[in-house]
Structure 1
Amino acid sequence: TEEEIYSHPTHPYTQALLSAVPVPDPTGREHRERILLSGDIPSPANPPSGCRFRTRCWKAEERCAEELPLLAVPSTLSGPAAHESACHFAEVRDVIGSG
């Protein structure tokens, strides 16, 4: 569900986007981790090989250029974090101070 994605983001690109969400609490702002994206924005008309997010992903490796990640629940995740993610390196990361 959407709640699982917001509270337990597993895809690196989702984590980066959520890390940019404004935090109204000054204490929360001080302790949050920002993930800054760099690289080229992928072209929708001519997407890159493999993972479409790899050109801006902070976790991208050679495998990401060679293999399209399938939408699946990673075997390393359990509980509320066990939702589908199309990433070879999906893992939970608390980027918005949700717990």
Structure 2
Amino acid sequence: TDEQIYDHPTHPYTQALLSAVPVPDPETRGSRERIILTGDVPSPANPPSGCRFRTRCWKAQDKCAEEVPLLAVPERFKGTDSPAAHESACHFAEEKDVVHAA
């Protein structure tokens, strides 16, 4: 569901986007981790091999250049009741708390 994706993001790009959402509470804002993307923005006319996000992803490894990640529930969450058990197109998807303060 949408709630699972917003409250329990597993894809690095989703995590980066959610970390940029303005937070009204100054205390929470100051203690929150911001994910700043670096690297080259991929060309839509000539996308990179494998994962399209890999040129900006902090988790990228060789597998990301070689293989397009399929949209699937990450192995570590399959068969669990975890709210992070939703589909993500990332070889290294894992939950990261970016919406709430750590």
TM-score by shorter chain over 0.5: yes
Please list every run of at least 4 consecutive aligned residues from structure 1 whose deviation after the TM superposition is greater than 2 angstroms.
Answer: none
Answer whether contact 1:7 1:98 (CA < 8 A) is retained. Answer: no
Which residue identity lines up with residue 10 of structure 2 in the other structure?
T
Instruction: Report Cα offsets for 1:32-69 as digits up to 9, x if no partner.
Output: 11111001111111110000000111111111001110
Identity fraction in percent: 75
Structure 2: unaligned runs, 5 residues or longer: none
Residue 20 of structure 1 deviates from its aligned partner by: 0.7
Number of equivalent positions: 99
Match for residue 7 of structure 2?
Answer: 7
Match for residue 48 of structure 1?
Answer: 48
Summarize the alignment of residues 72-83 of structure 1 with structure 2, pairs less than 5 Å apart.
Answer: 72-77=72-77, 78=80, 79-83=82-86
Q: Secondary structure at the match of 1:71?
A: coil
CA distance in 2, matches of 1:38, 1:63: 20
Q: Secondary structure at the match of 2:14?
A: helix
Match for residue 26 of structure 2?
Answer: 26
Query: What TM-score, normalized to structure 2?
Result: 0.92
